[in-house]
């Protein structure tokens, strides 16, 4: 195996249109200069000991063992409330404290420790994933031609490694040789650039003969190259071997996280390791993300702290004034306080000092305004919320046994506020596979398969059941009928399959079409001799789909040499399969500028040019006598495009010998040219012969979307969420996917900003790089300005626009002086597709959208090339797909399929946002209510610093007696069911607009808290002030008044919770009424303890409160009086100013959920029209149909 060589022909040797320039002189001259100083001594570890290159260990964790304690503490004390409570805990050890030290320190310590444990647990999971990656094995040369297994983490620059089939490359390597004679290998870079087609790499000739382990026994070489950079698509270097220099290009570079495919093994030398590798250079450190609600919560804490300081100032000033008046001319005004014999804290002679001390005491006393248990309660609630998300069976992918997996709980509520989704394409929207599904031959449409887009459209029209669709002939096609599954082939039509095409009216045209399908490509067959099955290696998945389709329809491509292509094809005359060989003369390759591909073959004395390409370039090349089926084919192509399919037009022509000889002479001359115009010269020669074609038909290939993608995008669009696609794919591919997933539609104007304009091409010929760069930027800016003009025009006509921009243009658009106008244009478009994006560009675009919109952004992807984007976005969602775990490891939430995003956002996102918002508002309400009763009592007691309540009453208020109901609210609250969340997606806008946690809403709850405190204090104090409470005639003392007020406030805030809860469960009842009962149990148990422990609570309930009927009647009266204001406001708001979710609740209560007109009326409360998705496509098609009907 070590020395095995695969002797097989590969399409690298038959390329006619090379894509790389043959001149490397300019690039090679850079080596050794700034930015090109790296030197690698291959297979010579001794020389590398003096060099300080990075090791190959890669980590994605937020903390290390050394940084965990200081960094996690910093995370906790980023929260303003925790800083305040720390100060209070320190002051609690001084005589200034109104309560014991333990009641101040213990709650803070519990909060901080619990939060740090949670952070440690989440980072430990990341650590385990890092260990799995870093401990992968690879074979490394240890000397004497021996290769042993080593862990990735132990690799060093200069090591020779042997990577085997289907293994990932452990670092950035230079290819030295492979199992193929030509020293080539196939590489899958999906984790890097999102592309599924295999890339062909080839070693330099000098090392191509190193095909055995023993070949490296005495191998030594020196590589000089560029320094580590983030650019995936460029590399400049040179290999020095035996005093000879060989240029190195991206053709020899194998990047970490890409995978070896269809090649038994390769040998390579490590040039970049660890954080120097290009994939890691494209990533950023894991950020510390905080939700917008949590950041606003900090502002509320600042506001409450300001109120607290103001209250303390007012109290201390009034205290200072009253204290100074306690002793005037030796006469005591408040003699019972003994101002003539007191401490400095109450000394009338030092009233200013006493006022300052009173201020510090008040700061601690009123600290209950700020809820210390809020943060820990939020942490616990969010963990429970993530558990519910994880256990949702509607987001469980059974095939791969993968549930939704929140990897952090910090951002749950952000899921309900997403304004823009930035999505990768390959592996995220698509399944990484192409399927031949339909075709048009001789003007007749064939193929009865149904695309995802067609299913979605049909469901929208209500004409498609879950199992059956109707084909063009009116026959019912059972889409769930069991058929053998063939990857790349989803074509069903009895008129063509099973060799029935020979009976069709234009059988000769169909024969030529299928023959062209089997010949016009650069795929290579691979025969499994044991199973007798032929598979194909192709540059792109759609090309593989073509040859598979030809095979299934009777034209099996089975052998290729440098000069011929051999088929097993059906002879329509004899009805038998025959072997037929076609002499391959030339291949005119596909390129983005040509948009077509041709082959010239000779068969039975005939010279044939077989051509396939985009309809935009093919129809104009048809001969006058070759347009017999043009109108029908165009009509079919439009139908295929509407169905989200990728189309190519097929045509041919016969050549005469003289014409071909002239072409071949010119083409050979252009091909052998070494000038900068080489490619253009070849294109011009090809242009002359690719004319006067005869149309055969067109193919329709489905870039297979993941199940449910169009429906998911449509639902998200209806929810008002904008969707951008950022992909490393070519522009044509991205546009096709845009149509397939309904981000684009027929009739939608496309603003295309491309780097391939005629002006730029002309400048490149001159070769002045600085002039080209300046002109290129000016050209991009001009295209953006023209796009903005189109945007203004379309806004007047209510037209939807789509922006499509390529990677090179995006580089200019992201510059500081351009990005402002670019993002204005992008935000004004209904769809945005960025093509050929590098990972860094994806992250920069995400950052730009996040900063400029100041709204929540969500990035979703599945590959290592998406890591920067996921980390930059407010929320990063990783697709736990088939290939790689880099995206999942760097994400905040992992799901198995894109379609689960619908439920994640519209259901769980909406619920989490509502739960967290309501929970925080309620927390502040109950603490403001509690804190202001303390303030009112202080005013009643001349701001003396005397607490109204027992120390442990105050400590347990937030921790026990009011915490469980609010946690039940945070975990279980629902305004509407999951089904209704999906039925009325515009409900999601409540979160996007932050309606439930606006300043207005918070101030409303704060006012309710102050009002409740006012009613509780004044009703209790006035009712009990002169009342003979005990049987002996004693009036109410501090301990009884405090207990009565505390009882009322526990009842009020818990009943308030019951009033504001939409969704009651048995848990809610247990927690709400249980908390009230627990207060009475605590009062009994705590009051029964020794007076030194229970202090003012000693037997206060059993001896004083419980026997008095006035205690129970007053409690009932105060609770009702305190709840009436909220109840009145809620009724008025519900009847006259209902919110969107309340309207949905009403139609559910009234039983009108099945009334389509009423439901449609509720949906029309949309704040903006839906411009993308199959709903928008259906409405646009209906509008065009109506306009055409009116025109006729």
End-to-end CA distance of the chain: 73
Q: Please enumerate in sequence order all residues whose Cβ is within 8 A of that of 259, keeping only pairs 6 or more positions apart, or say none.
A: 166, 167, 168, 169, 187, 188, 190, 191, 883
Alpha-carbon distance of 540 to 196, in angstroms, equals: 8
Alpha-carbon distance of 733 to 1186, in angstroms, equals: 32
Alpha-carbon distance of 239 to 24, in angstroms, equals: 13
Alpha-carbon distance of 1027 to 181, in angstroms, equals: 105
Alpha-carbon distance of 167 to 133, in angstroms, equals: 12
Q: Residue 343 to residues 96, 308, 350, 851: CA-CA distances in angstroms?
A: 12, 26, 10, 57
User: Of 481, 394, 404, 507, which Cα lies nearest the Cα of 895?
Assistant: 404
Please give the helix or strand (H or E) that residue 564 lies within, else none.
Answer: strand 564-570
Tell me the torsion sign for CA atoms 381, 382, 387, 389.
positive
List beta partners, residue 860: 423, 877
Tokens of 698: 């067109």
Tokens of 217: 């026994």
Alpha-carbon distance of 1144 to 1154, in angstroms, equals: 12
Tell me the torsion sign for CA atoms 533, 539, 545, 550.
negative
Report DSSP state, residue 250: G
**Would you call 78 helix, strand, or coil by DSSP?**
coil
Alpha-carbon distance of 444 to 632, in angstroms, equals: 7
Is 558 exposed, middle or buried, given 0-12, 13-18 or 19+ CB atoms closer than 10 A?
A: middle
198 neighbors 262 (Cβ within 8 angstroms) = yes
Would you call 424 a catalytic residue per the annotation? yes
Question: Reduced to 3 DSSP states, what percent helix, strand and coil does the chain have, rounded to the nearest 5?
Answer: 50, 20, 30
**Would you call 457 helix, strand, or coil by DSSP?**
helix
User: Of 40, 34, 22, which Cα lies nearest the Cα of 238?
Assistant: 40
Is 865 exposed, middle or buried, given 0-12, 13-18 or 19+ CB atoms closer than 10 A?
A: buried
User: Of 164, 169, 177, which Cα lies nearest the Cα of 280?
Assistant: 169
Strands 646-655 vs 533-537: parallel, antiparallel or unpaired? unpaired
Tokens of 1124: 């009436």
Q: Residue 554 to residues 220, 531, 585: CA-CA distances in angstroms?
A: 53, 19, 24
Tokens of 61: 């964790």
Exactly one of 419, 424, 806, 874 is catalytic; which is it?
424
CB contact burial 20-58 (16+ within 10 A = b; e otherwise)? eeeeeeebbeebeeeebebbbbbbeeeebeeeebbebbb
Q: Please enumerate in sequence order all residues whose Cβ is within 8 A of that of 669, keeping only pairs 6 or more positions apart, or say none.
A: none
Alpha-carbon distance of 610 to 601, in angstroms, equals: 8
Tokens of 828: 């004004």
56 neighbors 156 (Cβ within 8 angstroms) = yes
Q: Please enumerate in sequence order all residues whose Cβ is within 8 A of that of 532, keeping only pairs 6 or more positions apart, or say none.
A: none
Alpha-carbon distance of 152 to 140, in angstroms, equals: 10
- Give helix 68-76 / helix 101-134 axis angle, nearest 10°: 130
Q: Residue 303 to residues 75, 309, 929: CA-CA distances in angstroms?
A: 21, 10, 16
User: Of 389, 357, 754, which Cα lies nearest the Cα of 592?
Assistant: 754
Q: Which residues carry out catalysis?
A: 424
């Amino acid at each position: 195996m070590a020395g095995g060589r695969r002797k097989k022909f590969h399409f690298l040797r038959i390329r006619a249109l090379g894509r790389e320039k043959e001149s490397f002189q300019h690039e090679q001259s850079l080596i050794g200069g700034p930015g090109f100083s790296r030197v690698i001594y291959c297979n010579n570890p001794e020389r590398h000991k003096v060099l300080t290159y990075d090791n190959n260990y890669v980590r994605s964790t937020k903390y290390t063992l050394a940084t965990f304690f200081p960094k996690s503490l910093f995370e906790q004390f980023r929260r303003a409330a925790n800083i305040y409570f720390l100060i209070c805990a320190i002051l609690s050890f001084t005589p200034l404290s109104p309560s014991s030290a333990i009641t101040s320190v213990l709650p803070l310590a519990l909060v901080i420790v619990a939060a740090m444990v949670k952070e440690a647990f989440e980072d430990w999971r990341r650590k385990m994933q890092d260990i799995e990656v870093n401990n992968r094995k690879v074979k490394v040369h240890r000397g004497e031609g021996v290769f042993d297994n080593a862990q990735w983490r132990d690799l060093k620059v200069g090591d020779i490694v042997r990577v085997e089939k289907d293994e990932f490359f452990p670092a950035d390597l230079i290819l030295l040789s492979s199992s193929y004679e030509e020293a080539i290998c196939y590489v899958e870079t999906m984790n890097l650039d999102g592309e599924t087609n295999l890339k062909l790499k080839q070693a330099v000739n000098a090392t191509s003969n190193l095909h055995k382990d023993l070949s490296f026994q005495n191998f030594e070489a020196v590589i000089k190259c560029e320094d580590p950079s983030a650019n995936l698509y460029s590399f400049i270097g040179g290999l020095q071997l035996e005093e000879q220099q060989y240029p190195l290009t991206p053709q020899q570079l194998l990047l970490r996280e890409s995978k070896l495919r269809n090649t038994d093994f390769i040998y390579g030398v490590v040039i970049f390791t660890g954080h120097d590798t290009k994939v890691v250079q494209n990533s950023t450190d894991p950020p510390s993300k905080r939700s917008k609600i949590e950041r606003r919560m900090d502002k509320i804490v600042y506001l409450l702290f300001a109120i607290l300081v103001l209250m303390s100032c007012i109290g201390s000033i009034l205290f200072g004034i009253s204290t100074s008046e306690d002793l005037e001319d030796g006469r005591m005004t408040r003699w019972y306080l003994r101002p003539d014999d007191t401490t400095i804290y109450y000394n009338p002679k030092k009233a200013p000092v006493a006022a300052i001390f009173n201020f510090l005491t008040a700061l601690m006393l009123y600290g209950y305004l700020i809820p210390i248990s809020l943060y820990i309660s939020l942490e616990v609630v969010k963990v429970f919320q993530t558990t519910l998300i994880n256990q949702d069976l509607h987001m469980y992918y059974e095939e791969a046994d993968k549930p939704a997996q929140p990897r952090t709980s910090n951002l749950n509520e952000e899921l309900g506020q997403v304004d823009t989704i930035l999505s990768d394409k390959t592996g995220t929207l698509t399944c990484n596979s192409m399927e031949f599904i339909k075709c048009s031959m001789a003007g007749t449409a064939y193929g009865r398969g149904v695309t995802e887009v067609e299913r979605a459209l049909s469901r929208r029209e209500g004409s498609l059941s879950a199992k059956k669709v109707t084909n063009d002939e009116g026959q019912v096609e059972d889409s769930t009928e069991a058929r053998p599954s063939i990857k790349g082939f989803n074509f069903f039509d009895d008129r063509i399959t099973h060799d029935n095409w020979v009976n069709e009216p234009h059988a000769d045209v169909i024969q030529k079409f299928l023959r062209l399908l089997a010949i016009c490509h650069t795929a290579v067959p691979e025969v499994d001799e044991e199973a007798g099955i032929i598979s194909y290696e192709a540059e792109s998945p759609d090309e593989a789909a073509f040859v598979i389709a030809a095979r299934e329809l009777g034209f099996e491509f089975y052998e290729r040499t440098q000069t011929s292509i051999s088929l097993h094809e059906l002879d329509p005359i004899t009805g038998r399969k025959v072997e037929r060989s076609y002499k391959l003369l030339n291949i005119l390759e596909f390129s983005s500028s040509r948009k077509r591909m041709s082959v010239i073959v000779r068969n039975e004395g005939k010279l044939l040019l077989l051509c396939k390409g985009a309809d935009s370039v093919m129809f104009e090349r048809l001969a006058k006598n070759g347009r017999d089926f043009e109108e029908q084919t165009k009509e079919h192509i439009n139908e295929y495009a509407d169905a989200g399919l990728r189309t190519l037009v097929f045509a041919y022509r016969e050549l005469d010998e003289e014409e071909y000889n002239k072409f071949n002479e010119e083409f050979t001359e252009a091909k052998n040219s070494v000038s900068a115009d080489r490619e253009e010269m070849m294109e011009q020669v090809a242009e002359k012969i690719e004319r006067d074609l005869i149309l055969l038909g067109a193919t329709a290939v489905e870039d297979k979307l993941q199940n449910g993608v169009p429906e998911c995008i449509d639902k998200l669009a209806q929810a008002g969420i904008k969707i951008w696609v950022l992909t490393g794919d070519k522009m044509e591919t991205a546009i096709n996917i845009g149509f397939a997933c309904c981000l684009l539609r027929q009739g939608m104007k496309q603003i295309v900003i491309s780097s391939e304009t005629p002006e730029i091409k002309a400048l490149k010929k001159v070769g002045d790089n600085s002039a080209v760069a300046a002109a290129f930027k000016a050209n991009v800016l001009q295209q953006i300005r023209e796009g903005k003009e189109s945007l203004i025009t379309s806004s007047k006509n209510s037209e939807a626009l789509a922006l499509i921009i390529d990677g090179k243009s995006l580089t200019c658009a992201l510059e500081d002086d351009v990005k402002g106008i670019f993002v204005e244009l992008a935000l004004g478009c209904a769809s945005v597709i960025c093509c050929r994006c590098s990972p860094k560009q994806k992250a920069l675009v995400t950052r730009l959208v996040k900063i400029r919109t100041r709204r929540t952004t969500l990035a979703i992807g599945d590959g290592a090339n998406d890591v920067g984007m996921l980390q930059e976005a407010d929320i990063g969602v990783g697709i736990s797909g088939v290939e790689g775990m880099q995206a999942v490891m760097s994400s905040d939430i992992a799901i198995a399929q894109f379609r689960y995003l619908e439920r994640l956002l519209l259901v769980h996102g909406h619920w989490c946002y509502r739960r967290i918002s309501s929970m925080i508002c309620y927390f502040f309400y109950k603490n403001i209510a509690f804190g202001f009763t303390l303030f009112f009592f202080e005013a009643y007691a001349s701001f003396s610093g005397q607490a109204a309540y027992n120390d442990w009453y105050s400590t347990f208020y937030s921790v026990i007696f009011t915490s469980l109901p609010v946690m039940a609210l945070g975990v279980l609250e629902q305004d509407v069911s999951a089904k209704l969340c999906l039925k009325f997606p515009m409900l999601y806008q409540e979160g996007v607009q932050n309606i439930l946690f606006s300043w207005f809403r918070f101030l409303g709850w704060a006012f309710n808290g102050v009002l409740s405190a006012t009613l509780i204090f004044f009703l209790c104090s006035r009712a009990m002030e002169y009342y003979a409470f005990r049987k002996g005639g004693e009036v109410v003392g501090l301990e009884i008044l405090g207990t009565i007020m505390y009882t009322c406030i526990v009842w009020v805030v818990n009943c308030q919770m019951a009033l504001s809860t939409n969704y009651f469960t048995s848990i809610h009842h247990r927690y709400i009424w249980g908390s009230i009962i627990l207060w009475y149990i605590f009062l009994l148990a705590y009051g029964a303890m020794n007076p030194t422990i229970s202090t003012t609570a000693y037997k206060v309930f059993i001896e004083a409160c419980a026997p008095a009927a006035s205690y129970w009647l007053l409690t009932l009266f105060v609770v009702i009086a305190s709840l009436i204001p909220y109840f009145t406001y809620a009724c008025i708001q519900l009847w006259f100013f209902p919110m969107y979710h309340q309207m949905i609740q009403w139609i559910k209560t009234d039983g009108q959920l099945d009334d389509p007109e009423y439901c449609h009326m509720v949906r029309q409360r949309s704040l903006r029209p839906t411009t993308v998705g199959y709903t928008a496509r259906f409405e646009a098609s209906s509008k065009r149909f109506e306009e055409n009907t009116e025109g006729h």
